[in-house]
Amino acid sequence: MLRRCLETLKNELAETDHEVFVVDNLSADGSASMVAAEHRWVKLIANQENRGFAAANNQAFAQATGQHVLLLNPDTEVLPGSISKLLQFLDEHPQAGVVAPQLINTDGTVQRSCRQFPTFLGMLYELLGMSRLFPDEKKFREYKMLDWNHDDQRQVDQPEGACLMVRRQVVDEVGTLDEGFFMLFEEVDWCYRIKQQGWEIWFTPQARVLHHYGKSINQVKVRMIISSHRGLFRFWHKHYRQGRWYLDSLAYGGLMSLAYLRIAAYLANRALSRKTGVGEAV
Per-residue pLDDT of the chain (282 residues; tens, 9 = 90+): 999 999 999 999 998 999 999 999 999 999 999 999 999 999 999 999 999 999 999 999 999 999 999 999 999 999 999 999 999 999 999 999 999 999 999 999 999 999 999 887 777 787 777 888 888 888 888 988 999 999 999 999 999 999 999 999 999 999 999 999 888 889 999 999 999 999 999 999 999 999 998 666 656 677 777 777 788 888 887 887 665 555 566 665 666 666 667 667 666 777 776 666 545 544
Q: What is the pTM of this model?
A: 0.85
- Which string of b and e fits 267-280 if b means at least 16 CB within 10 Å? eeeeeeeeeeeeee
Residue 255 CA to residue 259 CA, distance in Å, equals 6
Is 99 in contact with 28 (CB distance < 8 Å)? no
Q: Yes or no: say if 143 and 120 are a contact pair by the CB < 8 Å rule.
A: no
Domains of the chain, CATH where assigned? 2-113+150-240 (3.90.550.10)
Tell me the C-alpha distance between 225 and 86, whole Å: 31
> With 0-12 CB in 10 A as exposed, 13-18 as middle and 19+ as buried, what is 18?
middle
What is the torsional sign of CA 213, 218, 222, 227? negative
Residue 266's H or E segment, with its range, is helix 245-276
Separation CA 270–CA 282 (nearest Å): 9
d(CA 126, CA 128) in angstroms, rounded, equals 5
Task: Read off φ and ψ for residue 172, nearest 5 degrees.
Answer: -65, -35
Going by C-alpha positions, the residue among 146, 147, 136, 139 that lies closest to residue 122 is 139
Residues shown for the chain = 282
Q: Using CA atoms, how far apart are residues 154 and 99, in angstroms rounded to an integer?
A: 10
Cα gap 230→190, rounded to integer Å: 16
Give every CB contact of residue 40 below 8 A, 6+ residues apart in sequence. none
